[in-house]
């Protein structure tokens, strides 16, 4: 099933998928494993086509497309395939004495019909990643690829029905109108990846049906750099995370708070890394991506313009600051001497611009981070365990990575998700299965014996025994 025609409305698709789910088709473990295997074949057999679509939409190199999208998805699928049977098993819990003889357990159950709305910056991974959890948990679903990555969206619309059970999954293409039509329907879970503005629309729509949501958003992820680290290594890792996918990564370091004692060496390390990665002319590098479309190009140009126009005398553009609208190229750009109230510090950049702010010590950095909305990730570079503990305990974020960036996503045992402004809910690995499951509480008792203690009329003797048994 693909995009509904005028004679086959979204409502009809929803009704059809819900009927199939109610039939019990998705409950069996063999069906779930078959669908996971089909997803794996989809990726393996169409690898080159996905590489081409991602190159057209975002200028991604083959290596980056494989590592950050297809390869990561294959790891997710293989991990779920290996562990699915154990995840599906009921978990026994203790039963109180008052309920004996009896047995209690938690049984995971699929939620039902789910809606997954993908994002454009990783248009394969951020649509199919949640789908792995939805399939593993035994749900039917509608997939909405991002229209802002049109080549990838068209490829997903073409290929998914060739591999997945078309009675259980549907792909809906389109923009705001189609998304609005989907959100008007009743789902058992909505999984949305994107920005906060649309997330509020999703939540409002979900509230009409009391539908639970998982929101994977973003925010300004800080990198806090202590004075005791190797600035070359820290600079290389920060630059890699910031400029991967041309900065269009929700967990990329959005700004750097560095001890002023090593500010210059750190900046030198980041500049050297950019030239090592992409050469003196990144626009000629096959490994440097492109901005998704002209709207976001203009947004970045305007943001940089406002920042430099209102800058203090200390602001310096260390590297970059060039762009070409026609080719959607925006150079890796590092700004030094940025003021905390600069326009570029007022919103998530989501592009290849990296502001650097110097601080007197880590405590000053932590105070600044605590004054901002909660980010999706906090990064800290330090050898001091006391500093590490202060970062962990004095900041609130979706996750923390110490002495690196972004790599926390590769540990499938870790949940990935935000908190506060950066989202709600989490997935990856078992957490994906749980995100799309209901933990059903079950108790089984025998009909005999049937103690009279709990039944009226009550007296002091019954109360005494209830106190002992409960």
pLDDT of residue 52: 98
Decide if 192 contacts 202 (C-beta within 8 A): yes
What's the pLDDT score for residue 6? 44
Q: Which pLDDT value is given to residue 281?
A: 97
* Residue 182: predicted pLDDT: 97
Q: For residues 235 and 243, give the distance between their C-alpha atoms in angstroms, rounded to a whole number.
A: 12
| CA distance readout (Å), 414 to 297, 402, 417, 429, 431 | 34, 14, 10, 8, 8
Task: State which residues of the chain have pLDDT below 70.
Answer: 1-8
Please provide residue 120's backbone torsions phi and psi, each rounded to the nearest 5 degrees: -85, -20
Can you read off the two tokens belonging to residue 20?
């199939």
pTM confidence score: 0.96
**Residue positions annotated with a catalytic role:** 216, 250
Nearest to 188 by CA among 168, 208, 211: 211
Domain boundaries, the chain: 10-217+421-442, 221-417
Judged by DSSP in three states, 197 sits in helix
Encode 249-259: b = buried (16+ Cβ within 10 Å), e = exposed: bbbbbbbbbbb
Is domain 10-217+421-442 annotated with CATH 3.30.43.10? no
- Please state the length of the chain: 470
pLDDT in tens, 228-254: 999 999 999 999 999 999 999 999 999
Architecture of the domain whose range is 221-417: 3-Layer(aba) Sandwich (3.40)
d(CA 278, CA 285): 6
- For 340-383, how does the pLDDT look when each residue is reduced to its tens digit (9 = 90+)? 999 999 999 999 999 999 999 999 999 999 999 999 999 999 99
Determine how β-strand 189-193 pairs with β-strand 399-402: unpaired
């Amino acid at each position: 099933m693909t995009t509904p025609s005028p004679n086959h409305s979204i409502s009809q698709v929803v009704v059809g998928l819900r009927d199939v789910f109610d039939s019990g088709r998705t409950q069996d473990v063999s069906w779930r494993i078959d669908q996971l295997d089909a997803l794996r074949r989809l990726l393996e057999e169409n690898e080159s086509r996905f590489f081409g679509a991602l190159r057209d939409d975002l200028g991604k190199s083959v290596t980056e497309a494989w590592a950050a999208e297809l390869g990561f998805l294959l790891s997710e699928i293989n991990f779920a395939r290996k562990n699915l049977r154990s995840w599906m098993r009921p978990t026994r819990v203790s039963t109180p004495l008052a309920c004996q003889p009896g047995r209690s357990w938690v049984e995971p159950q699929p939620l039902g019909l789910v809606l997954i709305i993908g994002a454009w910056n990783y248009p394969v991974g951020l649509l199919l990643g949640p789908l792995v959890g939805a399939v593993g948990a035994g749900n039917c679903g509608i997939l909405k690829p991002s229209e802002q990555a049109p080549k990838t969206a068209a490829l997903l619309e073409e290929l998914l029905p060739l591999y997945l059970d078309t009675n259980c999954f549907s792909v809906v293409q389109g923009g705001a109108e189609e998304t609005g039509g989907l959100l008007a329907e009743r789902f058992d879970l909505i999984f949305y990846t994107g920005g906060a503005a649309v997330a509020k629309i999703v939540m409002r729509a979900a509230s009409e049906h009391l539908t639970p949501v998982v929101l994977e958003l973003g925010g300004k992820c800080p990198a806090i750099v202590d004075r005791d680290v190797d600035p070359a290594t820290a600079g290389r890792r920060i630059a890699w995370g910031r400029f991967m996918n041309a900065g269009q990564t929700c967990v990329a370091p959005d700004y750097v708070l560095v001890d002023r004692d090593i500010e210059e060496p750190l900046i030198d390390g980041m500049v050297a890394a950019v030239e090592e990665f992409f050469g003196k002319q990144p626009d000629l590098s096959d490994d440097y991506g492109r901005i998704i479309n002209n709207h976001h190009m203009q947004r970045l140009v305007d943001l940089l313009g406002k920042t430099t126009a209102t800058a203090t005398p200390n602001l310096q553009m260390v590297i970059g600051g060039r762009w070409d609208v026609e080719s959607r190229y925006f150079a890796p750009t590092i700004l030094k001497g940025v003021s905390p109230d600069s326009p570029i510090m007022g919103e998530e950049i989501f592009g290849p611009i990296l502001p650097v702010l110097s601080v007197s010590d880590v405590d000053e950095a932590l105070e600044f981070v605590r004054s901002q909305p909660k980010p999706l990730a906090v990064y800290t570079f330090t050898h001091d365990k006391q500093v590490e503990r202060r970062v962990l305990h004095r900041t609130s974020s979706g996750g923390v990575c110490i002495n690196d960036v972004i790599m926390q996503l590769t540990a499938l045992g870790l949940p990935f998700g935000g908190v506060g402004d950066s989202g709600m809910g989490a997935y990856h690995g078992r957490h994906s299965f749980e995100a799309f499951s209901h933990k059903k509480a079950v108790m089984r008792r025998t009909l005999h014996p049937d103690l009279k203690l709990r039944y009226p009329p009550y007296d002091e003797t019954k109360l005494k025994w209830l106190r002992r048994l409960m």
